[in-house]
Structure 1
């Protein structure tokens, strides 16, 4: 003989259960729906290195928007092309078709020096004038002289990008939205 759900719990039990837990179950359901919707559009990440200092600090907890178009100045999360098990954060400097070059302490895109007020120090290295291939991006860390980035290993393909960093969530005293600083300088 099989039991039916209604037979296991009498009307009195069901009434007490709804009275005690009914509102909380609906609240929990709403929270689950919100979390599922968030997971469709956002990821979370913890910063492992100093490559984006001073903009983003080690151990910052980030909110990453996964459904985005990317433009110069955006900070992105992506799979490292030479080791796809690792994720990195860098700032997009060169878009597909751009020419990029690093010389005399400045970064040049299409022969124009970028205004980069977010850097602690200018790059001390050089990078020859190079055209960014179609479907790829040239990325650099804000901590230019201590960043393992495109000047070392090459370009990031569009399909390797997880998303764009939109906010630092934790620690609370550092909470802020991450803006595209290059848009503000132009």
Structure 2
């Protein structure tokens, strides 16, 4: 009888121990469920939403808004474009807030003649400009009677028609020319008058590690011909190559209620040449 009671007591104790162990395991599982993995947390989501766009803008592509008509007719005021950040490597201006952590460029690939480039203005690096690369290091650049000369040779240009500019409610008709650089790159330039202020210039010799930039709207472009404001652009100041027009709107972007009437849908997703 005593042995039976002992066995019964042992059995009860064993069951009680098993129940406690099971209860502890359930509690551990419950605690595990209450603590989500890091990649399932709000912290990760917030970091992901902040860091990923920053990485994309720093190392891959960044948006840019065309603020002026200096690159007409190829780029219009109100175009929103993608700029390739990796096209020419990286400098401190590739990073947010332009931290002074290194000089020059890393993984540098030089731009080619005819590339449309976004760069920091040499005289005020808080301002971005967009122009076309015309002169490479060592080149001699000059404009005579509106004709571009590179290293003493006139750049061929052919009249192709007219462009009607309707900026600020004033309609102006400009002649259009196709200009072809020595490397075969062709593009359209505008010529408003044969007597423009920058139609006859000195000879500019492009320094080492610098580039000579010009706008396609030749009589309405503040570019490397204006030495005291733009001048020669250091390679360090290059932000990237303009690649594509993402969207275009012929009104202030914030006036979204006008979009149905001002969107230039024909310019969406067009490549920049």
TM-score (norm 1): 0.75
Secondary structure, aligned partner of 2:127: strand
Partner of 1:121: 191
Unaligned 5+ segments in structure 1 are 15-21, 23-29, 180-186
TM-score (norm 2): 0.53
**Structure 1 residues 5 and 72: CA distance shift in structure 2, 3 A:** farther
Secondary structure, aligned partner of 1:142: coil
Listed one character per residue, the Cα deviations across residues 108-158 of structure 1 (whole Å, up to 9, x for unaligned) are 011122235101217632111121000000101111111111001211000
Partner of 2:31: 7
> Which entry has the higher C-alpha Rg, 1 or 2?
2
**Structure 1 residues 127 and 38: CA distance shift in structure 2, 3 A:** same
Whether 2:209 is the aligned partner of 1:139: answer no
Which of 92, 109, 112 in structure 1 is aligned with 2:150?
A: 109
Whether 2:135 is the aligned partner of 1:42: answer no
Secondary structure, aligned partner of 2:130: strand
Return the alpha-carbon distance in structure 2 between the equivalents of residues 173 and 9 of structure 1: 53
Equivalenced residue count is 160
Secondary structure, aligned partner of 2:239: strand
Query: How do 1:11-22 residues align onto structure 2 when only pairs under 5 Å count?
Result: none
Q: Tell me which of the two structures has the higher relative contact order, counting C-alpha pairs closer than 8 angstroms and 6 or more residues apart.
A: 1
Partner of 1:184: none
**Alpha-carbon deviation of 1:61?**
0.5
Partner of 2:133: 92
Whether 2:266 is the aligned partner of 1:173: answer yes
Partner of 1:164: 241
Unaligned 5+ segments in structure 2 are 1-27, 41-47, 88-109, 158-177, 179-187, 249-264
Which of 73, 77, 93 in structure 1 is aligned with 2:114?
A: 73
Runs of 4+ in 1 over 4 A off after TM superposition: 30-37
Q: What RMSD, in angstroms, separates the aligned Cα atoms of the two structures?
A: 2.9
**Alpha-carbon deviation of 1:43?**
1.1
